Amino acid sequence: MAADRPDLKTAAVAITLVGGPDGLAFLLTRRAAAMRRHAGQWALPGGRADPGESAPEAARRELGEELGLHLGADAELGLLDDYATRSGYVITPVVLWAGAATDLAPNPEEVGEVHRVPLAHIDVEPRFLAIPESDAPVIQLPLFGRYLHAPTGAVLHQFREVVLHGRHTRVAHLEQPVFAWR
């Protein structure tokens, strides 16, 4: 829980479920190339919580700012485990239902691409790597012919395990690659 790590800044990400002709999917973005931090990285919509803002409120606000998708509290389906990052944040993943979500308006200052990813695409086994800088394994989740790393890869792996397979799975111990430590 974020309360357990007062040394970290609080943040939230939205695992936004959408329906469509290809079945159930979630929204995944690629950060704009001009972003100051983590430019071009794959990410769930989200960011730092404002003072006094809950994780679900922050996730919904960030979803609105990044994709122009404004959801109320009734869209909240639940939370996954917090994930502490090497860059000084504790991220709370918030699962949201957005229906068809046909009217997305990505903010070009924050979002380079937005994708509707069918849930079947994350129903794959991740790869775990050992690195000399950490005793914890680095998670790599295959998607789009490449690998998503933690925190996004870890959050989506937990979502897959819990929602698609009903398995109680923790991911806070999974490491980020060294390039994400700043």
For each successive 10 residues of the chain (182 residues), what is the average pLDDT?
Answer: 75 96 93 71 95 98 98 98 94 97 93 96 96 95 94 97 96 91 74
The answer to whether 10 touches 49, Cβ cutoff 8 Å, is yes
Domain 2-180 has CATH 3.90.79.10: yes
**Cα-based angle 74, 77, 78 (whole degrees, multiple of 5):** 125
Q: Domain residue spans in the chain?
A: 2-180
Nearest residue to 175 via CA among 123, 125, 130, 118: 130
Single-letter residue type at 74: D
Please tell me the pTM assigned to this model: 0.93
The answer to whether 153 touches 139, Cβ cutoff 8 Å, is yes
So what's the pLDDT on residue 35? Answer: 63
The answer to whether 81 touches 172, Cβ cutoff 8 Å, is yes
